[in-house]
């Protein structure tokens, strides 16, 4: 049984024409019959979410994700198509909006809770839990105009999270508050998922989508690109954002008179195979030095698609005082077991000498890591399990 069903839904917005265009009497339609200032946020979107399913929606900025949630939460209506929703729906979209700045946090709980459909007795029963979850007990009777933006959003999230809906819509809730509060949000979403609630979640945190959702959908320019297993959808999203090339010629030399990065390549120990999680990998860093270098450091940095540094290969640890002679050279890194998740990674490279950059190049390559050993979490850890009996000296390797 489906809790949410969209059938060929489209949403059009009209942008206001300039006063100059009106005063000059420009026509309402151009030569192609299209109205000026017209934009489609969604085009022909169809999908269904089953009861108790956790459904993730990903895509780049402007893909139509937030517009879709606003349609589902009835903040706005579709231009065409049909939306069917079964059950009580609650949306955590722009949490904290609607707070009265002159009222205290406690008073805004009653005001905002009533606006979201909670009865006064229900709010009274849950108010202590709302305050505790938001972590603002010391300031709950202070006007919210004195709150930081993070406190406002945390309180708004806490109110919305206590609505006990059949269907919960989440828009970038993992960007709320500090790391401790984000962990509480993840725990709450996990509890709602285990209780059988239907969850529709939008997030740029692809790791959270992969962990929390049973199915995902990729949007691009308002259209559905694909729907399916979160791992497959995320992989397609990353692949579309990055080139499939694994070896690149580099450019934009910072100090060509001294040294430059000439190439970067990645390979597996198996001929013809690309690197896999948990398997050995070679990374080769080619360089051209115009003069002898003292205390030189070669770095290869791997970034998640979100832009955060995942890990780094460097000679600074093993060879803190490495010297390089003038001419062409290559640094070969060997990873006995590649410990990062399958997916696409942006690669930056740099050469340093005596603490200063000689050459530094961002977005210089892309690494594609294929599925290999099973990963539970963000990294694969190569382990050996031994079971020891307390009654005997027998040891069994698992």
Per residue in 15-70, pLDDT (tens digit) is 765 555 555 555 555 444 555 567 899 999 999 999 989 999 998 888 898 899 88
Asked whether the predicted pLDDT for residue 278 surpasses 50, the reply is: yes
CATH 3.40.50.300 fits 2-241, yes or no: yes
* Whether pLDDT at 246 is above 80: no
- State the pTM of this model: 0.65
With cut-offs at 50, 70 and 90, classify the pLDDT of residue 249.
very low
Looking at the chain, the whole-number percentage of residues with pLDDT higher than 90 is 28
With b for 16 or more beta-carbon neighbours within 10 A and e for fewer, the 168-184 pattern comes to bbbbbbbebbeeebbeb
Specify which residues 84 forms β-bridges with: 5
pLDDT tens across 341-385, in order? 888 888 999 998 887 888 888 888 888 888 888 877 778 888 888
The answer to whether residue 395 scores a pLDDT higher than 50 is: yes
Query: What per-residue confidence (pLDDT) applies to 121?
Result: 92
Query: Confidence class of residue 182 from pLDDT cuts 50, 70 and 90?
Result: confident
Q: Rounded to whole angstroms, what are the CA distances from 25 to 19, 22, 28, 48, 84?
A: 10, 5, 9, 45, 42
* CA nearest neighbour of 347 among 378, 309, 375: 309
**CB 306, CB 343: distance < 8 Å:** no
- Which residues make beta-bridge pairs with 397? 386
**285 closest CA partner among 316, 319, 314, 317:** 314
pLDDT at 396: 54
Strand order in the sheet with 2-14: 38-50, 2-14, 80-85
Would the pLDDT of 276 be above 70?
A: yes
At 103, list the tokens.
């009222």
CA 173 to chain CA mean position, Å: 11
What mean pLDDT do residues 213-233 have? Answer: 91
What mean pLDDT is reported for the chain? 82
- pLDDT (mean) for 198-206: 85
In this predicted structure, what is the pLDDT of residue 93? Answer: 65
Q: What is the pLDDT of residue 123?
A: 92
pLDDT band at 332 (very low <50, low <70, confident <90, very high): very high
Write down the domain spans for the chain.
2-241, 248-369
Q: How confident is the model at residue 6 (pLDDT cuts 50, 70, 90)?
A: very high
What CA–CA distance (Å, rounded) separates 379 from 111? 44
Q: How far apart are CA 283 and CA 280, in angstroms?
A: 10
Domain 248-369 has CATH 3.40.190.10: no
**Taking phi first (over 0 means left), then psi (-120 to 50 degrees means alpha), and beta for anything else, what does residue 363 get?**
left
196/185 Cα distance (integer angstroms): 17
Mean pLDDT of 185-191: 78
Given a contact cutoff of 8 angstroms between Cβ atoms, the answer to whether 45 and 65 are in contact is no
């Amino acid at each position: 049984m489906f809790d949410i069903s969209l059938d060929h839904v489209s949403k059009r917005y009209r942008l206001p024409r300039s006063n100059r265009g009106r005063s000059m009497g420009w026509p309402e339609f151009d030569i192609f019959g299209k109205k000026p200032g017209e934009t489609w946020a969604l085009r022909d979107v169809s999908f269904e979410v089953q009861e108790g399913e956790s459904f993730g929606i990903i895509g780049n900025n402007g893909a139509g994700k937030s517009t879709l949630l606003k349609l589902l939460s009835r903040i706005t209506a579709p231009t065409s198509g049909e939306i069917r929703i079964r059950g009580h729906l609650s949306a955590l979209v722009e949490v904290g909006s609607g707070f009265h700045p002159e009222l205290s946090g406690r008073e805004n709980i009653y005001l905002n809770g009533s606006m979201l459909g909670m009865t006064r007795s229900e709010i009274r029963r849950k108010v202590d839990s709302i305050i505790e979850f938001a972590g603002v007990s010391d300031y709950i009777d202070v006007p919210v105009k004195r709150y930081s933006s993070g406190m406002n959003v945390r309180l708004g999230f806490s109110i919305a999270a206590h609505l006990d809906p059949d269907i919960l819509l989440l828009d970038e809730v993992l960007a709320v508050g500090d790391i401790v509060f984000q962990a509480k949000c993840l725990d709450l979403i996990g509890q709602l998922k285990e209780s059988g609630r239907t969850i529709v979640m939008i997030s740029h945190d692809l790791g959270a989508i992969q962990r929390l959702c049973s199915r995902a959908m990729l949007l691009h320019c308002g259209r559905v690109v694909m729907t399916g297993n979160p791992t497959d959808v995320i992989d397609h999203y990353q692949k579309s954002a990055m080139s499939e090339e694994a070896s690149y010629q580099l450019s934009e030399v910072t100090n060509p008179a001294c040294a430059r990065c000439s190439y970067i390549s990645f390979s597996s120990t198996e001929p013809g195979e690309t690197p896999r999680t948990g398997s050995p990998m070679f990374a080769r860093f080619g360089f051209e030095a115009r003069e002898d270098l003292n205390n030189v450091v070669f770095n290869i940095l791997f970034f998640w698609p979100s832009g955060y540094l995942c890990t780094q290969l460097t000679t600074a640890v093993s060879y803190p005082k490495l010297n390089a002679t003038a001419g062409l050279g290559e640094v070969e890194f060997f990873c006995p077991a590649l410990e990062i998740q399958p997916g696409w990674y942006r690669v930056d490279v740099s050469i340093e000498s005596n603490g200063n950059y000689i050459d530094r190049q961002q977005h210089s390559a892309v690494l594609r890591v294929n599925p290999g050993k099973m990963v539970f979490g963000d990294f694969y850890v190569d382990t050996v399990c031994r079971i020891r009996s307390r009654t005997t000296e027998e040891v069994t390797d698992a």
